Amino acid sequence: MTSSSKRVELFDTTLRDGSQTAGINFSVEDKVRIADRLADFQIGWIEGGWPGASPKDTQFFELMRKRQWSATRLIAFGSMARPGKSASEDIGLRHLAESGADGACVFGKSWDLHVTKALGIGLSENLDLVHDSIAWLKAQLPTVFFDAEHFFDGYRDNPEYALEVLKAAHAAGADGLVLCDTNGGNIPFTVGQVVTEVVRQFPDTLIGIHAHNDCELAVANSVAAARVGARMVQGTINGIGERCGNANLVSIIPILQLKMQLDCGIDAEHLQQLGSLSRFVNEMANRLPWQHQPFVGLSAFAHKGGIHASAVRKDSRLYEHIEPELVGNERLILVSDQAGKSTVQLKMAEMGLDVGLDANDPAVKKAIQRVKELENRGFAYEGAEASFQLLLLKAMDRFKPYFELESFRVIDEKQGHEEDPASEVTVTLRVGLETTTTSARGNGPVNALDNALREALIPFYPSLAGMRLTDFKVRVLTTQQTTRATVRVLIESTDGHAEWGTVGVSANMVDASFQALADAVQYKLMLDKAVTPA
The pLDDT tens digits for 308-335 are 666 777 888 888 999 999 999 988 765 4
When divided into structural domains, the chain yields a total of 1
Residue 54: pLDDT above 80?
yes
Q: Quick one: which H or E segment has residue 387?
A: helix 385-395
Identify the pLDDT of residue 336: 43
Q: Report how far residue 495's alpha carbon sits from residue 473's, in angstroms, rounded to the nearest whole number.
A: 19
Q: Report how far residue 162's alpha carbon sits from residue 204's, in angstroms, rounded to the nearest whole number.
A: 19
Residue 55 domain flag: yes
Identify the pLDDT of residue 63: 97
Q: Report how far residue 41's alpha carbon sits from residue 141's, in angstroms, rounded to the nearest whole number.
A: 25
For 258-286, the pLDDT digits (tens) are 999 999 999 999 999 999 999 999 999 98
Could you tell me the pLDDT band of residue 429, with boundaries at 50, 70 and 90?
very high
Residue 469 domain flag: no
CA distances from residue 262 to 1, 45, 416, 467 in whole angstroms, order as listed = 11, 17, 65, 45
Average pLDDT rounded to a whole number, residues 353-380: 74
The torsion angles phi and psi of 306, rounded to 5 degrees, stand at 120, -150
Evaluate whether 55 touches 11 at the Cβ level (below 8 Å).
no
Residue 148 domain flag: yes
Residue 370 domain flag: no
Could you tell me the pLDDT band of residue 2, with boundaries at 50, 70 and 90?
very low
Q: Quick one: which H or E segment has residue 46?
A: strand 45-49
Residue 315 domain flag: no
Give the single-character DSSP code of 170: H
Residue 345: pLDDT above 70?
no
For helices 159-171 and 188-201, what crossing angle results, to 10°?
A: 50
Helices (H), 64-212: 91-97, 112-113, 123-138, 151-157, 159-171, 188-201
Q: Report how far residue 518's alpha carbon sits from residue 403's, in angstroms, rounded to the nearest whole number.
A: 9
Its domain, for residue 66, covers 3-266
Q: Report how far residue 164's alpha carbon sits from residue 413's, in angstroms, rounded to the nearest whole number.
A: 67
Residue 56 domain flag: yes
Give the single-character DSSP code of 501: E
For 17-26, the pLDDT digits (tens) are 999 999 999 9
Q: Report how far residue 102's alpha carbon sits from residue 95's, in angstroms, rounded to the nearest whole number.
A: 13
SS3 428: strand
496-500-506-512 Cα dihedral, nearest 10 degrees: -10
Residue 526: pLDDT above 70?
yes
Question: Nearest-5° angle of CA 412, CA 413, CA 414?
Answer: 135
Could you tell me the pLDDT band of residue 355, with boundaries at 50, 70 and 90?
low
Using CA of residue 309, residue 310, residue 313, residue 318, what is the dihedral sign?
Answer: negative
Q: Of residues 336 and 493, which shows the higher confidence score?
A: 493
Residue 166 domain flag: yes
Residue 334 domain flag: no
Task: Say which CATH number the domain at 7 has.
Answer: 3.20.20.70
SS3 201: helix
CA distances from residue 248 to 234, 334, 385, 446 in whole angstroms, order as listed = 9, 27, 25, 37
- Sheet (strand 499-506) strand order: 468-476, 487-494, 499-506
Using CA of residue 366, residue 385, residue 381, residue 513, what is the dihedral sign?
Answer: positive
Q: Report how far residue 62's alpha carbon sits from residue 4's, in angstroms, rounded to the nearest whole number.
A: 36
